[in-house]
Amino acid sequence: MNAFTKHNDAWVIKADRADLAGQDIIVTTRAGAQKNVTLAQYLGPTQGGRFDGHLYAIGERAPAAAAPTQAVGDLSPIMALFDRARAHLKYPAIVLDGFRVSIAGARAANPGSLNVTGIEKHFNAQRGRDERTWFGRVSLDGSFAPSRAAPADLADKLRAFAADPAGVAAAFGHLHGACCFCMRALSDDRSTAVGYGPICADHFGLPWGEAAPVAERDLGNARGTAQSRARRANREFAARTYA
């Protein structure tokens, strides 16, 4: 197994072959994390009484080319949601179809920009904490800089959200039976019809009471759909999103 080791007071790589100079390999750290490392010159076999590998200096890796930015559009409708929400919530966030949007804080590299991540948290062994997968950042000028982990269609989804935040939020609620702002299940008929609840509508400055009620002939279907989606939403979203 490739590993980091000390040689003449410097960190080097121990590998099992002597012909790997100039190649990229995966090295496992003591904590179990894996890193891509470029091998520089061959330093010789290990020393100290028994042979157990070959030593290489660590080469400098060229920085990965950044993915080109993509235009999302006018962010003012989205920023208006967060501006309103921050008067009520310390860390407002919006969960949509496969991604989560929040505002970068004052200490971030780009304060006020939109952080775009995955929904669920996963344990990062290298950092020793739970984190959401980083998908990229939307700058205040409306440009999206995706990470390598970003889904291919994410820019299109962000454009749709920027063009019609209320409509996209409502569509999420209709599809999943849960409010995209708080991830609670939509349980009453009006919230099911609107796509989000009245408290979140007030927090984010969206219409709710003005929405037309569900037609009586559609009410039974809406109620049954809401109940089934509510159960699924509670299982799949609420607990893990804000854990």
pTM for the complete prediction?
0.63
DSSP output for 146-213: E-TTS-TTHHHHHHHHHH-HHHHHHHHHHHHSB-TTT--B--SHHHHHHSS-HHHHHHHT---TTSPP
Encode the chain (243 residues) as per-residue pLDDT tens digits: 788 888 888 899 999 898 999 888 888 887 777 788 899 999 988 876 566 789 999 988 766 666 789 999 999 999 999 999 999 999 999 999 999 999 999 888 899 999 999 999 988 766 678 999 999 999 999 999 999 899 999 999 999 999 999 999 999 999 999 999 999 999 889 999 999 999 999 999 998 866 433 333 333 443 444 445 444 544 554 445 445
Q: What angle do CA 154, 126, 113 make, to 5 degrees?
A: 35
Alpha carbon separation from 204 to 78, 85, 158, 188, 196 (Å, rounded): 10, 5, 18, 19, 11
Cα(63)–Cα(96) distance, rounded to whole angstroms? 32
Total residue length of the chain: 243
